[in-house]
Amino acid sequence: MLIPVIIWGDNMKLDDRKLKVLQAVIHSYITSAEPIGSRTVSKKYNLGVSSATIRNEMSDLEDLGFLLQPYTSAGRIPSDKAYRLYVDNLMKSSEIVLKKRKDIKKDLLTEINEVDKVLQNAAKILSKVTNYTSLAIAPQVKQSKLKRIELIPIDDFRVLVVIVNESDVVKNTMLRVEENLSENQLTRISKYLNQKLKGKPIESLYKEVESGLIKEMYNYKRTIESLIPLVNQSLDNIKKETIYSEGVTNIFNFPEYNNISKAKSFISFIENKSSLLDILLNDGFDDIQIKIGKENCYDEIKECSLITATYRVNGKTIGKIGVIGPTRMEYSKVISTVKSIAMDLGDIITDNFTK
Amino acid sequence: MLIPVIIWGDNMKLDDRKLKVLQAVIHSYITSAEPIGSRTVSKKYNLGVSSATIRNEMSDLEDLGFLLQPYTSAGRIPSDKAYRLYVDNLMKSSEIVLKKRKDIKKDLLTEINEVDKVLQNAAKILSKVTNYTSLAIAPQVKQSKLKRIELIPIDDFRVLVVIVNESDVVKNTMLRVEENLSENQLTRISKYLNQKLKGKPIESLYKEVESGLIKEMYNYKRTIESLIPLVNQSLDNIKKETIYSEGVTNIFNFPEYNNISKAKSFISFIENKSSLLDILLNDGFDDIQIKIGKENCYDEIKECSLITATYRVNGKTIGKIGVIGPTRMEYSKVISTVKSIAMDLGDIITDNFTK
DNA sequence: CATTAGCACTCGACATACAAGAGTGCTAAT
DNA sequence: ATTAGCACTCTTGTATGTCGAGTGCTAATG
């Protein structure tokens, strides 16, 4: 999708040749990480003009904010603005080869016991395929309603509480009880609770205990009461999003992270899940989202690009998966890969974890 | 515990003064990471002799293999052998302050829903207190016997299988069934399975299906059959050890890791859980274990020391927790901290996850 | 005989200098 | 409008020199 003439903000036109030069610089820089000069452009990319002409074009492109010079008399490198233009208009979206896509889907299907494992596995694959650092955020549950609760005796003083919420996320908690309850008694309590609480937001639980429960189930009042905070806590835990990151050390492969302090700040940032969570949760839920360099809020990744895609289960967006790496990123390859894995991931979760 | 004269392998004696010099070098190097010269030793540590004497002693110590010279005319640094001697004989074990220990235990108690969380939390605290990278390996289950199995209906085509093994580790799996089973039917199957299988190794399951089961529970044969691989898999999953590591980026604080390739190799090593697992599982289960430098098997950490302690639940060793960092490690502080956290951890798990 | 002072020597760290190479910007010619 | 040519700039790499910390040896000392 190559638009021959792009009218930019000011009255300077980006004509076809400028775009070609820009594209050449971007392409070269993405692959080599070295500033590129006019002579090299004219030699490597057959634009049919001499290096001097390209020099003039590059000078213009610098004035327009698309190119940067790391220092005088060095070659030029693309700016964030250039990458943005590239991603929005210039990039030919590379279709991920069908066979490869099938292979990836097969890999994704290796661990499908638990939804968390699937996700972590997806992150691993994504990082391996792209050679960048990958991120994934687990399905999040908007509002927690109880679907089912089950009490299972473990020994005389402990009861396993299994809680299933409306999105079929399961949570276990061990509960210590003071009274020794028989299996039958526990079954009765379970049944009662299920009947009363199914589909209700968890807050109802308090009221129930206060009112009807006392008559009907007086004997178990204490147990049920001790259950409430537990169920509450468990539901909260379910709501708590978890983030997976894989391939952090890939960052070492990029020359721009060849100095300790940058590498440290990047890795620390990825290790510190809370800021990641912030980014992934608050930056919108478009199908595919591309944040380039300074478009990112956190200083630590202002020289990175973050590409995320949402995945959907039964048509509902429930999580995100993505890739983070230097702004000099193989956008077309990464974008198509992230998209494809996000789709597969959604399919797999839909198929295996919902009816 | 300072032994005045240590007879070493060959007939060279390590007299009191040599030990003091050695201790001085070790102390200085542990805190500064700089090679230390004779003059500095004589100035900083009042040994009552001149730098020339110390020079001679240091020369002897080098011949004995306790000191190394990074290059001619540089100061000297301790060898692995020196650290070993230090740890075994010279080090005054620093008692961790009681108040601090109480604070740590309090921190350890913040997340005690799941044993895995407790462990991860312990690793976090350990890394934070020591400023090194911490490792923890989750309780491992030697042989998996079934304690309890429970089938809970989720919707028409899915059943939640809750499996509890003899160590009270709980595992959930979603099972798709072809036939629509009522809650009562599921309860009957659960009861039957529990009765038949409690305390038995999982292999029995196959036989049961073959023989008695067919008569008694003919109607549910298909469901039960589809259950078998699932239960198997879940029990295997429980056996699978998980490792937690925290504070990997602490490695950047040490000047010896100020070059990319070393940092990369260290972090990659920690990220790659399988080799960690190997080390933690196969290197013996002494109460406290100290591996110094080349005593470690893996090349990637031949310049590191690894200090691990086992934690016990009801007197039985079930896991390890530890710290890894440069051989120049604050041994006395780290050892006492690791020991103390391991003990607390054992107590907490015993108190909260066993009867 | 152990200790010490003194001195020559070694080697890394750091600074300076210099040449090579890549790239730009400008100008004049096409 | 394009291009060739040239002067200029700036980085990178190499060579060189100096400084300081530290050693090892020897001779003097108590």
Predicted confidence (pLDDT) per residue in A277-297, tens digit: 999 988 888 899 999 999 999
How confident is residue A207, by pLDDT bands cut at 50, 70 and 90? Answer: low
3-class secondary structure, B169: coil
Complete DSSP assignment for B241-303: --EEEE-GGGGGGSGGG-SHHHHHHHHHHHH-HHHHHHHHHHS---SEEEEEGGGSSSGGGTT
The number of helices, as runs of H, and strands, as runs of E, in chain A is: 13, 12
Measured CA A23 to C1' C23 distance, in angstroms: 19
Q: Among residues B12, B35, B119, which one has the least CA distance to residue B346?
A: B119
Tell me what the pLDDT averaged over chain B comes to: 85
Question: Is the pLDDT assigned to residue B248 strictly greater than 60?
Answer: yes
Q: Among residues B249, B155, B2, B90, which one has the least CA distance to residue A147?
A: B155
| Contact residues, chain B to chain A, C-beta under 8 Å | 113-114, 147-148, 150, 152, 154-158, 160, 162, 164, 168, 170, 172-174, 187, 233-234, 237, 248-249, 252, 258-260, 263-264, 267-268, 271, 352-353, 355
Q: Among residues A252, A280, A281, A278, which one has the least CA distance to residue A267?
A: A252
Across residues A66-72, what is the average pLDDT?
91
**Nearest residue of chain B to residue A265 (CA atoms):** B249
The dihedrals phi and psi of A317, each to the nearest 5 degrees, come to -70, 125
Inter-chain CB proximity A260 and B252 less than 8 Å: yes
Q: Which one has a higher pLDDT value, A40 or B179?
A: A40
Residues paired with A305 in a beta bridge: A292, A325
Half-sphere CA count of A319, side-chain side, radius 13 A: 32
Among A30-44, A182-196, A212-226, B166-180, the range of highest mean pLDDT: A30-44
State the nearest Cα–Cα gap between B155 and chain A, in angstroms.
8
Asked if A46 CB < 7 A from strand C, the reply is: no
Q: Which one has a higher pLDDT value, B321 or B149?
A: B321
pLDDT tens-digit profile of A147-187? 888 888 887 777 888 888 776 777 777 777 777 778 888 88
Among A7-21, A182-196, B120-134, the range of highest mean pLDDT: B120-134
Question: Is the pLDDT assigned to residue A2 strictly greater than 80?
Answer: no
State the nearest Cα–Cα gap between A147 and chain B, in angstroms.
8
Alpha-carbon dihedral angle through residues B200, B202, B206, B209, given to the nearest 10 degrees: 60
Alpha-carbon dihedral angle through residues A307, A313, A319, A322, given to the nearest 10 degrees: -20
Residues paired with A320 in a beta bridge: A137, A310
User: Do residues A70 and A77 touch, judged by C-beta distance below 8 A?
Assistant: yes
Give the nucleotide nearest to B55 (CA→C1'): D23
Query: What CA–CA distances, in Å, run from A24 to A67, A254, A328?
Result: 12, 20, 13
